Amino acid sequence: DYGLVPVDGSGKITQDSTDPDSFYTWQQESVATLNLHNLALSNLDPGTLFRYKITLVNAEGDSFTTDPTGNFQFSQDLKFRTAAEADTLPPAVILGPIVDIRDVLAVVRFVTDVPTAATIFVGTDGGTYNTEDEFEFPDLTPDGERRFANRHSVIVSGLDAGATYRYRLDVESTSGKTTTLEPSLSSGKRAGLQQPPGGAGSFTTSNDPDTQFPVILSGPTVSSKSHETAIIEWTTDEPADSELSFGLDAVSEDSESSAVTTTDHQVVLSNLEAGGTYTYLVGSTDASGNGATRSSEAVFTTDPDVDITAPEITGDPDIIYKNDESATIQWTTDEDASGEVTFGTESDNLGFIRTLPETDKTHEVTLTNLEASTTYFYQVSSEDLSNNGPTLSEVASFTTDGAPDLTLPTISNVVATESDSSVILTWETDELADSFVDFGTVSGILDLTVGGVEDVTEHEITLTNLTPGQTYFYTVGSIDRANNGPTESTEGSFLTLSSADTTPPATPSGLSGTAGSEQVLLTWTANTELDLGGYNIYRRTTADAEFAAIASRVADTSYTDPGLANDTEYEYQITAIDRETPPNESAATELALTPSLSAAPTSPSDLNVGGEALLPTFSFNNAEPFNTGATLTYTIQVSTQSDFSDVTDSESGVIETSGATSWTITRSLTDGQTYYWR
């Protein structure tokens, strides 16, 4: 359901928020029963603010709605603004394409700047390609619908072993604009033999059947969590599906899966128990049916309380690459969150919108089809998994270059870290560029190629399924965003280990901690091993005989442990693990901390409710900071439950004013309903 949001001349909303039935004028629906939903709203006015709500009904007739009169974190007055002018820009392929080649199938991977529906056209070189006999492979959801996404991974099957094929991509945006990318005609990355496999628009299938299981290169790790959700991530050496089994204290029959083939896996778990410690393991099966490769077990602990704090932008948005027709914006948040950029040529009219398809802590958006020597203004925003936010940046600007980028990337600091059946190759470039490695067992005959589509400055490619005790020769290479290159290193070599790696990382050093009220913060110095897999964290109290794992494969060098009892001593152990399966684990470093109520600000006092009955204003006397002279911010929650297990409305980061602070609720309450606030 959707409708106009009336505003006055100054842009202030004039609609009566106590009458939500008047919010929605029109309705668009789909009767198909799906997991992934797309609804197109048409005939909208440009530069106009709309509000909407979503209602879902499953096959059993159970319904779910984002109606803003509800008392859940997804009960929100959702709004969007249409672009000030028609988005006539065609979609662009900004990463890739790259082809993972097997004997009778291939997986084509690429990324577009906006959500697109994609189709791959494939035919034999000098035969069926570009004829009526060529093959067509659309990117579809598991439900058989066209999949609109930025990141595409399309399985091309029914191929002949040892045959050479050419291909092209057709991508169509939600606005109906289409782009055809034919790499062999240099419309993508410059056609060249030595570049990410398949990047030149052709590939040759293998003569040997694919019997190798996918290899888990990193993870699984918990990238973000709340009181009821957790995001699990891992990477594999080839496109594969995503499977995850989990349970409280031990792996059970609970599971989540995704049939989308990818090398970067992300699974969201929901409806978890607050303050629960979960054990999980992940698995992946490749497009040829090899697998599932299973990880070792890992653990995480959900937060004890509902998350009502908006994400914080910890790294201001910055232009990490630009040329005469594109620019890449990057920013970071303190938790996994969405990413969106609004931009335009006027600071008060950011009429174009680019949205990231996935949540992350590091956000990177590439703006394409820009004009040379032109100043653009932009603003970024992020919202977390609990729908807190959005957090907005200040409006910033950049000017595109006046001439095309014709400078090749430079390569430095090439390092090989060997194991018995794999090696990690890392290198650096002076600008954003992709990654590929040519390698073989004979110097000068590097007949195998592995690559990655991501444009980065710190590169890492892992070669897997190698022979123990074998010498390999290799070069690394990169092509930048403007298609300059490839730049290649000189030939190097490495010798795989004759037996499995059993050497653990060094014991983490520099462990320190800060005890607060009902929580502690642990920090330590980062290990330097290139094959580091993360850190395990263990905890016990004086009443416990053994340490118990509360988090594993932690990627950061800090960890906050909430939900503790004040005036109770907690002992912690931190170990480091590598990427082997099962991992080699270091000796532990230890620390004891005692949380206390005195290690926090005092409580706000004299809580009062005033103003309008259904749109009340909450006020209170300020607390005293723990650190003298510090400025406090407040988080306010309104709930229908005395245990605050639901969220009618909330606000974080409220800055205190002199003596007392107040906040007015942003949604209308229900007459006669009892509410609690804190």
* Domain at 171, CATH number: 2.60.40.10
Do 563 and 610 share a domain, yes or no? no
Residue 308 lies in a domain: no
Tell me which amino acid residue 494 is: F
Residue 471 lies in a domain: yes
Contact call for residues 400 and 370 (beta carbons, < 8 A) = yes
Cβ atoms < 10 Å from Cβ of 94:
21
Do 423 and 489 share a domain, yes or no? yes
Do 272 and 292 share a domain, yes or no? yes
Contact call for residues 461 and 475 (beta carbons, < 8 A) = no
Do 371 and 420 share a domain, yes or no? no
Do 580 and 655 share a domain, yes or no? no
Give which of 474, 484, 503 is closest to 587, Cα–Cα: 503
Cα torsion 268, 273, 274, 280 to 10°: value is: -50
Contact call for residues 1 and 24 (beta carbons, < 8 A) = yes
Indicate the residue among 301, 333, 349 that finishes a domain. Answer: 301
Q: Which residues pair with 551 in a beta bridge?
A: 537
Residue 503 lies in a domain: no
Contact call for residues 137 and 147 (beta carbons, < 8 A) = no
Residue 499 lies in a domain: no
Contact call for residues 566 and 517 (beta carbons, < 8 A) = yes
Do 263 and 346 share a domain, yes or no? no
Residue 406 lies in a domain: no
- Listed in order, strand segments (DSSP E) in 563-648 are 570-578, 589-593, 605-611, 616-621, 633-639
Q: Which residues contact 508 (CB under 8 A, 6 or more apart)?
A: 524, 525, 527, 535, 574, 575, 576, 586, 589
Do 513 and 591 share a domain, yes or no? yes
Residue 504 lies in a domain: no
Do 533 and 590 share a domain, yes or no? yes
How far apart CA 96 and CA 99 sit, in angstroms, is 9
- Listed in order, strand segments (DSSP E) in 532-614 are 532-541, 548-554, 558-562, 570-578, 589-593, 605-611
DSSP element (H, E) containing 97: strand 93-101
| Number of domains the chain contains | 7
Do 329 and 277 share a domain, yes or no? no
Indicate the residue among 168, 183, 204 that finishes a domain. Answer: 204
How far apart CA 71 and CA 369 sit, in angstroms, is 43
How far apart CA 562 and CA 269 sit, in angstroms, is 20
Q: Which residues pair with 349 in a beta bridge?
A: 346
**Sheet of 660-664: strands edge to edge?**
605-611, 616-621, 660-664
Give which of 598, 593, 626 is closest to 520, Cα–Cα: 593
Indicate the residue among 277, 301, 325 that finishes a domain. Answer: 301
Q: What's the pLDDT at 191?
A: 37
Domain residue limits at 337:
313-399
Write a three-state SS string for 395-454.
Answer: CEEEECCCCCCCCCCCEEEEEEEECCCCEEEEEEEEEEEEEEEEEECECCECCEEEEEEE
Cα four-point dihedral sign 414, 426, 337, 118: positive
For 77, phi and psi rounded to 5 degrees? Answer: -80, 85
Cα four-point dihedral sign 65, 71, 72, 73: positive
Give which of 116, 120, 94 is closest to 108, Cα–Cα: 120
Residue 502 lies in a domain: no
Do 423 and 364 share a domain, yes or no? no
Residue 307 lies in a domain: no
pTM of the predicted structure, to 2 decimals: 0.81
How far apart CA 190 and CA 182 sit, in angstroms, is 11
Do 97 and 200 share a domain, yes or no? yes
How far apart CA 382 and CA 311 sit, in angstroms, is 7
Contact call for residues 619 and 608 (beta carbons, < 8 A) = yes
Do 108 and 57 share a domain, yes or no? no
In whole angstroms, how far apart are CA 164 and each of 102, 103, 245, 547? 12, 11, 40, 57
Say how many Å lie between the first and final Cα of the chain, rounded: 32
Q: What's the pLDDT at 507?
A: 97
Contact call for residues 68 and 170 (beta carbons, < 8 A) = no
Mean pLDDT for each consecutive 10-residue tract of the chain (678 residues)?
A: 78 58 85 79 85 89 86 78 73 87 90 90 92 92 82 92 92 88 58 58 89 90 88 91 90 81 89 92 92 91 89 94 93 92 89 84 91 96 87 96 93 94 94 92 90 89 93 94 89 94 94 94 94 94 91 94 94 94 93 92 94 93 90 92 89 91 90 94
How far apart CA 218 and CA 478 sit, in angstroms, is 22
